[in-house]
Amino acid sequence: RVSLIDRRGAPICLSHQRTRARPAMVSRTTTRTARAAKAEGARHGIVKKRTLLEKLSNGAKKEARSSNQVVTKTKRERNKGVKAEAKRDGCEWTREESGDGDEGPFPGFSRPHPEECRSVTRVLMDLHGDPSRDWQSEDEDRLQVEVERVSVLDSLVGTILSQNTTDKTSHKAYASLKRSFPTWESVRVGDPALVAESIRVGGLSEIKTRRIQSILNAVREERGECSLEHLRSQTSESVKEYLSKFKGVGPKTISCVLMFCLERPEFPVDVHVWKIAISLGWVPARATREQTYEHLNRRVPDDVKYSLHVLLVEHGKVYQNDVKLLRPCVKEALEGRDEGRLARPM
């Protein structure tokens, strides 16, 4: 027999050592097994988690695709409905040579014809009055003259304040700004927080303040004063090119300055004009607001641009952009135009 001794020199029985060793060996084995099982379980957990995430991701993708398909289908059905309604009322969309070559976003898209524009203008005048005669005496606010704006810069800032809000609210914001800061130089050097507070009623006051002061600083640096009166002597294209370099000044804002302030033959397109034009078939259903402006500004006759614009805006507000009252006159204008074309000698 082999004797073993412990650290203190006491003899140890081998059978006792084996008895004591076995639990230790089992314990180490159990520990290793537990650790391996835990690691394996963790790996399985990760795999399961990944699988679950992949399933969720795939489900989300399928749901998104399904949602997009529904939206696309809904939009397609809505556009088909507008086209079908237009066709039923004799306002079918046509593509023919317009005589403008390849100019504009929709080359060859011939509508609206001058007869349509003038016919719609007459009907709208019967409904809402003549803007150049009746509105001045009845309700000045409808023509945006609640606050006197005499300079080009007045018009530009006033139009910026009208973005994303109502005319009435933007007029209040403009009047409040002029009371707090009588000159554009005082607006330029004013505390941005105070300027924003003065126009807060119109919404987006911090954004509009940054844009207005940025424009004023650029004009002051370039011209030596806060004035844009030099634009009065420039062509409409030059005015567009100059104003479009300022952030927050888009086609509609520039077009409003040209029409209301500089009295140029322009046709601004806001959301009301845009929706009504699509419903009447004056632009394709896919047309954006900017494309609608580019197209209608070429197609609408100069002599009715001002009246037709303000009347369409008014009609859109009063009738929520509904065009049922306008379709008969459009149909009549198109039929009269077709009859005149057929009667014309070859």
Task: Please choose, from the candidates 157, 113, 155, 326, the residue with its C-alpha nearest in 3D space to the C-alpha of residue 257.
Answer: 155
Those residues whose C-beta lies under 8 Å from the C-beta of residue 228, and which sit 6 or more positions away, are: 151, 152, 153, 156, 219
User: How do beta strands 11-12 and 4-5 pair?
Assistant: antiparallel
Which of 178, 208, 252, 305 is an active site residue?
Answer: 252
**Tokens standing for 99?**
């005589």
The residue to which tokens 């424009």 are assigned:
215
Active site residue 178: no
5 pairs with which residues across the strands?
11
Q: Is the peptide bond before 112 cis (omega within 30 degrees of 0)?
A: yes
Q: How far apart are the first and last CA of the chain?
A: 133
Annotated catalytic residues are 252
